[in-house]
Amino acid sequence: MLLSVGVGVTALTATSGAATSRVARGISTPAPVCQKVTASKTTCVTWSVRDTWAGHGPVVALLDFHPLGQPAGVVAYAGWIRTAATILGLYPGYEGPGVTTQPRGPEAVPSSGIGRLLATFNSGFYEHDAAAGFYTNHTLYFPMVKGLATVVRYTNGTVGITQWAGGPNPGPTVLMARQNLPLLVDNSVATPATANDFAWGLTLYGAPAVWRSALGIDKNGNLIYAAAPAQTAASMAAIMVQLHSVRAMELDINPEWPIFVTYAGPGARSPSLDVANPNQIPNRFLYSSTKDFFAVFLSRHPGEAQPW
């Protein structure tokens, strides 16, 4: 939804096109993405609530927009996740994140969580492409690497994106941790490393601008996923900054992988492919998946174990 305003606005709309949602005070909502058109006019794109059936205020919201300064026709797709109401689960696929002797688990959204499933989205690189830590369901598949960007879910129910400063083991306060490359955004600005595209993964045909995805966190501790075609590391970082990420990390790249799916009702009813990537299908992750992935569930209490 586009709004032309003189000052910043915060609004949420239902995906059906209904009137702006009224949100109870104290519940986090995502900030609109605003761009200055003229000296006196700012155009804002607002988020649409996807999971109205969940009944917990805005939990997952969607937005697509033309990124500032990018060629005409480029569209970025974003998903916002309210962490206070959700569980961020991490699941190995039957190949990703890499070769391991550890049990891989369901390799798909587990049946024990499908009634509370809100969204699924892609994870990061294979281990053989970029060594990185991977910890979930009390199992360390690959040791943590100091200095890498890491999404962490803690036992108190909060989620963080940080530059890992600890050792190879996550520690007792960590429920889930997934690393991938250095931070893409830190302190709300692109990191200097984004100037070197060679540091951000091998691309299809060696092209610098390809499909990329990233995961950020806003000032309120909520998650922001984004994916877009024709992106360099620097331009993807700029998208995450436009989406109000305080910190962000790159996830998977190239056309085969970026995906974000939401569901029209409990039980993974009517999955919707919310990133317009023609290489994806909406029911991916409901069946055995090649690569590891994230799943978002409604939470019953802070710090509960992810469905398995």
User: Tens of pLDDT along 106-115?
Assistant: 999 999 999 9
Given this model, what pLDDT does residue 26 score?
Answer: 66
Helix segments in the chain, DSSP class H:
233-242
φ, ψ for residue 5 (rounded to 5)?
-135, 160
Is residue 264 in a domain?
Answer: yes
- Average pLDDT (137-144) is 99
- Mean pLDDT over each residue of the chain, to the nearest integer: 92
Domain that holds residue 115: 83-298
Is residue 8 in a domain?
Answer: no
Is residue 4 in a domain?
Answer: no
Is residue 205 in a domain?
Answer: yes
Given this model, what pLDDT does residue 12 score?
Answer: 60
Given this model, what pLDDT does residue 40 score?
Answer: 85
Side chain identity, residue 111: S
Is residue 92 in a domain?
Answer: yes
Looking at the 3D structure of the chain, how many domains does it have? Answer: 1
How far, CA to CA in Å, does 131 sit from each of 30, 38, 98, 137?
A: 33, 46, 10, 20
H or E element: which one contains 91? strand 86-91
- Average pLDDT (109-134) is 98
Q: Give burial (CB, 10 Å; 0-12/13-18/19+) of 217.
A: buried
Is residue 210 in a domain?
Answer: yes
Given this model, what pLDDT does residue 56 score?
Answer: 75
Asked whether the predicted pLDDT for residue 57 surpasses 90, the reply is no
Given this model, what pLDDT does residue 8 score?
Answer: 34
Interval 179-233: pLDDT, tens: 999 999 999 999 999 999 999 999 999 998 999 999 999 999 999 999 999 999 9
- Average pLDDT (77-83) is 98
- Average pLDDT (123-149) is 98
Is residue 255 in a domain?
Answer: yes
Is residue 10 in a domain?
Answer: no
Q: Model-level pTM?
A: 0.92
Given this model, what pLDDT does residue 13 score?
Answer: 54
